[in-house]
Amino acid sequence: MQAVNNSLENQLAQLESQLTQLPSLFPSSPWQGVYRLEPEDFQVEEVLGFEPEGQGEHLYLWVEKKGSNTAFVAQELARSAGVHPSAVAYSGLKDRQAITRQWFSLHLPGQADPSVETLNSANWQVLKMARHPRKLKRGTHRSNRFTLRLRVDNTDDTTGHWLEKRWQQITQQGVPNYFGPQRFGRGGQNIHKALSWLMANPPIKPPKRQEKSIYLSALRSALFNAWLAETLNNQHWIKPLQGSCFNLEGTRSYFSDPTATDLSKRLASGDINLAGPLAGKGHLQSSGLALQAEEAFREAYLPYWQALANQGLKVEYRPLRMQPKATEFNWQAPWLTLGFTLPSGCFATSLLAELINANDAQIN
């Protein structure tokens, strides 16, 4: 039993180390900076990918918020509309210390639309609303549009040219699709809380629903980051093994086709990405050498993998690469402004880490 505990402790230490020491695609940037000095320096806008139909039981709200996290806004919208919190849904979680625009839906069958004034707050405003037949589900939106402003602290005459060249490399090649640090909480505390609950012997009372979701997501994301780091170190990040799974760019669809002959060309063009496993119950979808590698990884972290499966999570796949679209670059020393669009589920902070050693002013 002691040997098992020591093994789990070693794995936890490895996961924690990887949270701050994930291998990067490009050599470390010589430039240091800071972002999110003001909420206006970090702006995010959801791209839903479709328009509400104008009729139905669900009222869609297009909300601009500042200084509040998504879950809190959802809770307050439920209170203001006089509905149960379960009647409020959203597609993605957005940062608190930022200006963000995102969709919420209220289930209001047979009820009149509440007034905008009733729903508004000092920290958020409903910009528009429309009816739709179906509720929002997590991950429904197609992408997010980011506008980031950073201050670079160690500039010289070469800074702008260097940053622009690296930015071009990033947009052309893409970067590892790591889950960002905000997924894990300050100091990785969400992983600690997940393991304190999941690995407790004897079992303890599970956390509340919202906290449970956060902890499960943190542990699952840490395992994915560990897998992605392994593929990067082994140079299989964009060089598939026989039987690998692939993701169709900009979608949640994935496939494995060992007989396909044009995969390299499609990878190079950005039409598809290699995909890696998200822990859960069910069969891994890869085959051949790729399946062997994924099974070895699952075995190495089996207690954590089984704990996630026991909570009902199912095996899924996530792209290993994210590639920004519709990019913008503006350098006016010492300020750098970036604009780009990423598929839903991708973290701008992971993209930024390949460009500059930047600290979040809201954390440091």
304-344 per-position pLDDT tens digit: 999 999 999 999 999 999 999 999 999 999 999 999 999 99
Smallest CA-to-CA distance from 355 within 16, 35, 9 is with: 35
Single out the catalytic residue among 95, 157, 257, 271: 95
Q: How confident is the model at residue 74 (pLDDT cuts 50, 70, 90)?
A: very high
CATH 1.20.1730.10 fits 2-27+175-322, yes or no: no
Both structure tokens of 61: 């709200």
Record the pTM.
0.91
Question: Where do the CATH 3.30.2340.10 domains begin and end in the chain?
Answer: 2-27+175-322
Residues 312, 231, 4: CA angle, nearest 5 degrees = 55
Cα 253 off chain centre by: 17
Q: How far apart are CA 359 and CA 364, in angstroms?
A: 7
Q: How confident is the model at residue 174 (pLDDT cuts 50, 70, 90)?
A: very high
Q: How confident is the model at residue 28 (pLDDT cuts 50, 70, 90)?
A: very high
**Beta bridge mates, 64:** 101, 125
Domain 32-39+143-171+323-360 classification at class level: alpha beta
**Beta bridge mates, 100:** 44, 65
- Using the predicted structure, report yes or no on whether residue 11 has a pLDDT greater than 80: no
Supply the pLDDT for residue 68: 93
Residues 74, 88, 341: CA angle, nearest 5 degrees = 65
- Are 278 and 220 in contact, with CB atoms under 8 Å apart? yes
37: Cα within 13 Å, side-chain hemisphere: 10
Enumerate the H helices of the chain as residue ranges.
2-20, 70-81, 116-119, 159-173, 189-198, 209-233, 263-269, 288-300, 302-310, 348-352
CATH superfamily of this structure's domain 50-132: TruD, catalytic domain (3.30.2350.20)
Q: How far apart are CA 192 and CA 184, in angstroms?
A: 9
Residue 122 phi, psi dihedral angles, 5° rounding:
-65, -25
- Using the predicted structure, report yes or no on whether residue 230 has a pLDDT greater than 70: yes
The three-class DSSP label of residue 249 is coil
Question: Where do the CATH 3.30.2350.20 domains begin and end in the chain?
Answer: 32-39+143-171+323-360, 50-132
The residue-averaged pLDDT of 95-105 equals 94
257 catalytic residue (yes or no): no
Q: How far apart are the first and last CA of the chain?
A: 40
Q: How far apart are CA 162 and CA 169, in angstroms?
A: 11
Residue 256 vs residues 296, 310, 343: alpha-carbon distances, Å: 19, 26, 21
